[in-house]
């Protein structure tokens, strides 16, 4: 039976007389509330009874139950409880339990259950026509129903049927149904039970002449829509302007920029980022994705164990903890320290040590105390707790941590805080269907609750509304533009439930199951949108990437599409077009004003790229490190260097090492390596430490074996400091090891990576460290060598001065003998080159001039500053290159 229609003008009067308005969407309910407020002539009024369908059903059920109008009053499970019960039932089913029970699998069963009740599918017919997957669903559904019966409960999918039966034949206030394109059988049964009480709000009756436009791509289409919205707003500041975007979530980031550029350009200027916007994007996102809720989840997750560096970094930088403002600089320094000294994953104990300032870390005592107390609270016994206890403990732990922070929350954050409290209430409600939970299980449940709850803070009414297709139901505008209507969007792609017979879904014209039904719905949707405003336009993109697109068939009755014109230039384009270019070549920084100290890396960077030396050593433009999984190569290098130092300081000479039995030498190596590992691999998981220890012992033993083949030597120094003056630069450093062979000195530098003596030469040496050692050593150096600790390449490689009476200091093919005159010439060349590099640095010479920037072994390969020097732009312009 068709319901009598009422006009929009009649609606305020009916609401004032106590009528209900039940809407198809929450958006329409809010719009009608605002419309009623605008039409009211009084300063205050009773809240009109306008609710979306689901909320109205729940309200009616509570009234029927509380006033004793139900023969068997039952408790109604909320969505969180229902989902948990489905997961329990699925886990016990012999077939379903073999599936990877993700939330998506459970959601598929819940969706099929909902469709059965909304479309009133007979269980007998489902059994008769069931395929294998459907039989699994029917078996699980029976088990789920038994669980409901045991608890004397029902769920949201069953609610409409119970309410329809309870309202049948009863008197009451009129009920106006608004924004429904079609009713499901369950909704139709409800309308029938209302009888003469049911009315329908008349659809909008505008009769514009819609136009259809085609644009090159989605960005051009959205840019034109934003420019159109500005024109409408300028023509009538009070107009209700709508932009419909079918794939709103995917396009929202670009659309925000385009709308700001078109209708709120002042927001693009510094200091105006918080200016109000005359537009609003109606896009609810998962509650767990909001900054406040995401911070709370990550803080609670610290109690679970290992964490990624990204998680720790966000927690240190979040403003939603105690002393976040006052302790902020120290937390930023601690983050940088952790990036340099930690490996992933980061253990809670390692984080706490850093927060306490251990190991020379920048301490953060307020956060350290709060996190310690919170972790102790969450680690209390019993290990398994009811969900309500976990909800209370989570709240206590967050209060201890100072969440939601010191700063005053804005409106959106206050609404998020309220939504978070409701999410914890939903978690606590799991006591009705679940037993005790571990911390991990409770956090998993909470994450699911936050992921399933869509949240968008309420905002003031603004003239431009951007919405998705489903939210347009029942809304009216003064001007409307519907974008993105290509044939891949409308009609909607078929996606029937895999757990229900496909033929039955087509016969019942269920959603996303029948192409004819979807075509009819698409036509009906376009017709409704075309009548919902005085000015209406439709558009679609011609291309998506390289894929050509066609207009939706539902647009065919509106005529042949025209070519869309590009919108007006945006602020950025206008500013760029009005630019005045000035060319300035600036390759020199101010010269040094006095003596400067540095290490060998300073000259190495000046040689590799003068700009890099300037940025790193004068600007201190050091980027944040990225922690690596496992052991950082620098940690491994420090561990091996320290182990070798301890070993040779203990032995003192080759003779001592040679006098030991092999097993005794191995024991000595292990005795030196273990405390070195404890010092330099702190924070690394114990299993990895043992692996590194064994690998380190092996390479050290191999290098010791090479040492035993050399002429007898004594240790002249390990980690010996040096200082060398080169003009205004005072270069300081430490030599890994110096051996004395007779009267000759051999300088050794340990390397765990690739290194070649060829990098010592040239006007821009790749590795000036060894030349610096040679120049800094007061006594004559007779040999320079890398002690390679790289697995598979362990041994010595370098150069030694050759003479008639010189012994073979470093035997082997990797050592090059240099005649005495050439040796002195080489040292003089090094002194000249290094002095030149030092002079260039002191004078402020800092052009972007990398060595072999396009080669894998070039200066740019591992440079941390490509954005600062704009390397890629310079390469494209040909300003730098390999030649």
Q: Write out pLDDT tens, residues 697-750.
A: 999 999 999 999 999 999 999 999 999 988 888 999 999 999 999 888 999 999
Beta strands per DSSP E along 135-210: 153-154, 175-178, 198-201
Confidence of residue 3 (pLDDT cuts 50, 70, 90): confident
For residue 596, the model assigns a pLDDT of 77
Encode pLDDT of 622-659 as tens digits. 888 776 777 888 889 999 999 999 999 999 999 999 99
pLDDT at residue 464 tops 70:
yes
CA distance 837 to 771: 13
> Per-residue pLDDT averaged across 248-270, rounded?
89
Length of the chain: 883
Residue 684 pLDDT level (bands cut at 50, 70, 90): confident
Query: Does pLDDT of 135 surpass 90?
Result: yes
Rounded to the nearest integer, the mean pLDDT of the chain is 90
Q: Give dist(CA 550, CA 487) in Å, integer.
A: 6
| pLDDT score for 743 | 85
- When pLDDT is cut at 50, 70 and 90, the band that residue 573 belongs to is confident
Asked if pLDDT for residue 131 goes beyond 90, the answer is yes
User: Which tokens in the block code for residue 715?
Assistant: 């240790």
Q: Is the pLDDT of residue 867 over 80?
A: yes
Q: Is 536 helix (H, G, I), strand (E, B) or coil?
A: strand
Predicted pLDDT at 565: 83
Of 153-157, 337-341, 407-411, 468-472, give the lowest mean pLDDT range: 337-341
Joined tokens for residue 775: 């120049």
For 821-864, the pLDDT digits (tens) are: 999 999 999 999 999 999 999 999 999 999 888 888 788 888 88
- Choose between 459 and 111: higher pLDDT: 111
Give the number of other CB atoms < 10 A from CB of residue 534: 15
Q: How far apart are CA 195 and CA 192, in angstroms?
A: 5
Q: What's the pLDDT at 583?
A: 81
pLDDT tens readout for residues 503-541: 999 999 999 999 999 999 999 999 999 999 999 999 999
Q: Assign 3-state DSSP to the chain and report helix, strand, coil percentages, each to 5.
A: 50, 15, 35
Q: Is the pLDDT of residue 883 over 70?
A: no
Work out the pLDDT band at 1, boundaries 50, 70, 90: low
pTM beyond cutoff 0.75: yes
Q: Reduce the DSSP state of residue 745 to 3 states and report it.
A: strand
Check residue 597 and give its pLDDT.
Answer: 80
Angle at 384 between CA 379 and CA 385, to 5 degrees: 90
- Coil vs helix vs strand at 865: coil
Q: Could you tell me the pLDDT band of residue 106, with boundaries at 50, 70 and 90?
A: confident
Instruction: Give 42-96 pLDDT, tens digit per residue.
Output: 777 889 999 999 999 999 999 999 888 887 888 999 999 999 999 999 988 877 7
pLDDT of the residue at 97: 63
Question: Is the pLDDT assigned to residue 806 strictly greater than 70?
Answer: no
Give me the pLDDT at residue 882, please: 67
Q: Do strands 477-482 and 464-467 pair parallel, antiparallel, or not at all (unpaired)? A: unpaired
Max mean pLDDT among 1-15, 200-214, 663-677 falls in 663-677
Backbone angles phi, psi at 745, to 5 degrees: -110, 135
| pLDDT at position 99 | 59
What does the pLDDT average to over 790-798?
Answer: 91
Determine the pLDDT at residue 762: 92
- How far, in Å, CA of 15 to CA of 4, rounded? 16
pLDDT value at 465 more than 70: yes
Q: What was the pLDDT predicted at 486? A: 96
Residues with Cβ within 8 Å of 442's Cβ and at least 6 positions away in sequence, in order, are 385, 387, 390, 394, 427
């Amino acid at each position: 039976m068709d319901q009598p229609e009422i006009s929009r003008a009649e609606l305020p009067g009916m609401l004032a007389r106590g009528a209900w308005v039940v809407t198809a969407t929450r958006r329409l309910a809010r719009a009608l509330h605002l419309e009623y407020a605008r039409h009211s002539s009084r300063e205050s009024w009773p809240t009109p009874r306008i609710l979306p369908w689901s909320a109205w059903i729940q309200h009616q059920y509570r009234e029927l139950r509380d006033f004793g109008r139900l023969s068997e009053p039952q408790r109604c499970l909320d969505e969180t409880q229902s989902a948990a019960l489905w997961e329990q039932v699925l886990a016990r089913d012999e077939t379903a339990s073999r599936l990877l029970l993700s939330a998506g699998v459970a959601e598929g069963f819940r969706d099929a259950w909902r469709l059965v009740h909304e479309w009133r599918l007979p269980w007998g017919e489902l059994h008769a026509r069931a395929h294998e997957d459907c039989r699994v669903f029917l078996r699980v559904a029976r088990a789920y129903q038994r669980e409901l019966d045991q608890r004397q409960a029902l769920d949201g999918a069953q609610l409409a049927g119970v309410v329809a039966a309870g309202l049948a034949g009863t008197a009451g206030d009129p009920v106006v149904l608004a924004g429904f394109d079609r009713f499901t059988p369950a909704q139709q049964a409800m309308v029938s039970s209302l009888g003469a009480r049911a009315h329908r709000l008349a659809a909008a009756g505008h009769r514009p002449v819609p136009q259809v436009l085609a644009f090159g791509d989605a960005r051009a289409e959205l840019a034109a829509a934003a420019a159109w919205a500005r024109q409408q707003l300028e023509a009538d500041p009070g107009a209700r302007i709508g932009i419909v975007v079918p794939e709103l979530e995917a396009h929202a980031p670009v659309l925000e920029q385009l709308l700001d550029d078109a209708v709120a350009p002042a927001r693009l200027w510094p200091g105006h980022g918080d200016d109000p916007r005359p537009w609003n994007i109606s896009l609810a996102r998962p509650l767990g994705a909001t900054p406040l809720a995401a911070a709370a989840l990550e803080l609670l997750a610290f109690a679970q164990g290992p964490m990624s560096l990204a998680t720790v970094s966000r927690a240190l930088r979040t403003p939603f903890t105690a002393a976040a403002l006052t302790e902020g600089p120290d937390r930023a320094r601690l983050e940088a320290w952790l990036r340099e000294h930690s490996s992933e994953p980061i253990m809670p104990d390692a984080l706490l040590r850093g927060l306490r300032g251990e190991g020379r870390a920048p301490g953060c005592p307020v956060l350290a105390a709060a996190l310690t107390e919170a972790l102790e609270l969450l680690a209390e016994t019993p290990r398994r707790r009811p969900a309500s206890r976990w909800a209370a403990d989570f709240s206590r732990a967050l209060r201890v941590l100072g969440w939601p922070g010191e700063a005053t929350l804005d409106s959106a954050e206050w609404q998020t805080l309220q939504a978070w409290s409701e999410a914890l209430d939903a978690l606590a409600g799991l006591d009705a269907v679940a037993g005790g939970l571990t911390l991990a299980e409770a956090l998993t449940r909470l994450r699911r609750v936050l992921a399933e709850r869509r949240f968008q803070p309420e905002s003031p009414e603004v003239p431009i509304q951007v919405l998705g297709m489903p939210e347009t139901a029942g809304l009216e505008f003064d001007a409307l533009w519907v974008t993105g209507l290509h044939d891949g969007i409308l009609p909607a792609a078929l996606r029937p439930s895999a757990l229900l017979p496909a033929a039955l879904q087509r016969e019942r014209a269920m959603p996303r199951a029948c192409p004819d039904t979807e075509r009819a719905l698409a036509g009906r949707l376009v017709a409704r949108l075309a009548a919902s405003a005085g000015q209406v336009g439709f558009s679609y993109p011609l291309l998506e990437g390289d894929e050509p697109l066609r207009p939706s068939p539902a647009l065919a009755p509106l005529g042949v599409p025209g070519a869309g014109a590009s919108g007006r230039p945006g602020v950025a384009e206008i500013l760029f077009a009005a630019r005045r270019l000035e060319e300035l070549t600036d390759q020199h920084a101010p010269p040094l004003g006095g003596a400067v100290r540095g290490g060998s890396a300073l000259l190495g960077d000046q040689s590799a790229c003068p700009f890099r030396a300037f940025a790193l050593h004068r600007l201190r433009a050091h980027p944040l490190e990225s922690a690596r999984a496992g052991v950082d190569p620098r940690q491994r290098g420090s561990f091996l260097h320290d182990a070798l130092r301890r070993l040779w300081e203990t032995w003192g000479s080759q003779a001592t090492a040679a006098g030991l039995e092999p097993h005794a030498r191995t024991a000595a190596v292990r005795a030196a390596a273990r405390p070195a590992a404890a010092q330099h691999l702190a924070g690394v998981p114990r299993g990895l430490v043992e692996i590194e220890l064994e690998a380190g012992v092996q390479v050290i033993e191999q290098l010791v074996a090479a040492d035993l083949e050399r002429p007898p030597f004594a240790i002249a120094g390990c980690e010996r400091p040096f200082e060398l003056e080169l003009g205004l630069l005072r270069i300081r450093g430490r030599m890994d090891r110096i051996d004395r062979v007779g009267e000759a000195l051999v300088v050794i530098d340990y390397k765990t990576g690739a290194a070649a003596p060829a990098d010592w030469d040239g006007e821009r040496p790749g590795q000036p460290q060894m030349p610096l050692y040679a120049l800094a050593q007061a006594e004559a150096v007779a040999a320079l060598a890398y002690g390679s600790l790289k697995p598979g390449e362990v041994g010595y490689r370098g150069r030694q001065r050759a003479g008639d009476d010189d012994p073979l200091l470093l035997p082997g093919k990797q050592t090059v003998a240099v005649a005495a005159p050439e040796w002195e010439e080489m040292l003089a060349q090094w002194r000249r080159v290094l002095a030149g590099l030092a002079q260039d640095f002191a004078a402020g010479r800092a052009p972007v001039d990398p060595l072999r920037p396009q080669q894998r072994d070039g200066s740019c390969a591992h440079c941390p500053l490509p954005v600062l020097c704009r390397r890629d732009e310079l390469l494209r312009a040909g300003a730098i290159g390999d030649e």
